[in-house]
Amino acid sequence: MHNSLRARDMAYHFHSQTNPRRHEAEGPLVITAGEGCYVVDEMGNRYLEGMGGLWCASLGFRSERLADVAAGQMRRLATYHTFNHRSNDPTVELVEQIATLSPIPGSKVFLVNSGSEANDTMIKLAWYYNVARGKPGKRKIISRKGAFHGSTVMGAALGGLPHMHESFNMPGLNVIYTEKPHYYRNALPDESEEVYCARLIAALEALIEAEGPETIAAMIAEPIMGAGGVVPPPAGYFPALRQLLTKHDILLLSDEVVSGFGRTGKWFGSEACGFVPDMMSVAKGLSSGYLPIAAAVIGDPIYQAIADEADRIGVFGHGFTYSGHPVTAAVAADVLRIYREMDAPGRAAELGRRLFAALDARIAGHVLVGEVRGTGFLAGIELVADKASRTPFDPALKVGALVEQRCRAHGVMIRNMGDVISLCPPFVMTPEEVDQLVDGIAAALDDAADRLAA
């Protein structure tokens, strides 16, 4: 008989992105309540959440306003679909808001349920678009080593993280990979960002020419790489990338799942990085993570070609039961209203300045820290064995996991991706809570340094 929440979870729950055998032995941290930027576990321990859950909770972990919106919509129209020319009023409101904010001219919005589905949808649309143009041979997709684009078959194939491929016997899906634009880790000694960027773009052009541009449909890229280590691009990278792909008639797809809706200090990461994509995916912050919803945002030339081809066939054969679900759409639409009311990009920029000032003062000089990096209210802290040589730790030491565990002991939540500590705090965090978050990380780093030295 399984009585406790932990025991019941260990007995029945197969977790995402978790070591199942370790989970059988150690069990979960069960979170039972949230308020503002804090979450509370089943034992009553309170944590300042520095990751927004999973890059999501821009508005914190509980909102009476959004609870009322969800309840009100449940009482009016709890479910419906958007197949066969159907719609509902929250969906109309939501797609109009997304299109109005979008940096892509003439945007059309295709609603889905997750970032993985949004990225899958963009790939299918890229293929459909090229068929519509009489170029069905343009099927390959360029992605980047170290990228994360979801956990569906296509999303995982797009990702450049080895553990997302190993042991899954992934099928060949015409995905080719170019280098991760990680200046701190991959630049040559004394190489400037501009020279490093030029080298990356030249290598990509060589890859395109070797594969044949007539075989490549699109390239997908996160403006700021998230799960790959919170990696901002080197100076000039995306404008040069945009120019190169346009030259070779290759679409540029921006994965804005993490960087969208103000996180970078602009409404979208593409704006912060100086480029206009042909399509972009949004999720996570779209509803502050409160309900599952996402979207693919499509430029007008792509839409027009696809619409003509679908008209020739008689139907556009893609969609999901819950695309444009009225309750999720109502909540997401009100989340976007709240972002406008609070000026989410301005708020993220202001809090980001506070965060990076505190990280520079308290964290950057720490013996375990090689680099502090990020954009807006999004930060990464890379841990190293030797600061001068940038030598990484032996992965077997699991230093990032140790720092994450010690952060919880000091009452703060972060996420480690290997030996990179990531931060994606809620926009409702106060300046004092930003300082508290950094204090907790600093204490955890001291604990880890003491343990490693012992």
pLDDT reported for residue 167: 86
For range 385-402, the mean pLDDT: 96
CATH match for 77-342 among 3.40.640.10, 3.60.20.10, 3.30.420.40, 2.40.10.340 = 3.40.640.10
Residue 185 has pLDDT above 50, yes or no: yes
- CA–CA separation, 330 and 55 (whole Å): 21
pLDDT reported for residue 121: 98
In the structure, what pLDDT confidence band is assigned to residue 163 with cuts at 50, 70 and 90? confident
175 CB neighbour count, 10 Å cutoff: 19
Residue 403 has pLDDT above 70, yes or no: yes
Q: Sheet containing 279-282: which strands, arranged edge to edge?
A: 108-112, 294-298, 279-282, 251-255, 216-221, 140-144, 175-178
**Cross-strand pairs, 144:** 178
Residue 57 has pLDDT above 90, yes or no: yes
Residue 424 has pLDDT above 60, yes or no: yes
Residue 2 has pLDDT above 80, yes or no: no
pLDDT reported for residue 251: 98
Domain spans, the chain: 5-62+343-453, 77-342
Q: Could you tell me which residue, 172 or 27, shows the higher pLDDT? A: 27
In the structure, what pLDDT confidence band is assigned to residue 3 with cuts at 50, 70 and 90? confident
In the structure, what pLDDT confidence band is assigned to residue 162 with cuts at 50, 70 and 90? confident
Q: How many CA atoms lie within 13 A of 194 on its CB side?
A: 0
- CA–CA separation, 169 and 119 (whole Å): 21
Share of the chain above pLDDT 70, in %: 100
For range 291-297, the mean pLDDT: 98
Residue 1 has pLDDT above 60, yes or no: no
CATH topology for 5-62+343-453?
Aspartate Aminotransferase, domain 1 (3.90.1150)
Residue 261 has pLDDT above 60, yes or no: yes
For range 392-421, the mean pLDDT: 97
- CA–CA separation, 100 and 12 (whole Å): 44
Which of 415, 359, 373, 363 has its CA nearest to residue 184?
373
Point out the least confidently predicted range of 121-130, 167-176, 440-449.
167-176
Residue 398: CB partners within 8 Å, gap ≥ 6? none
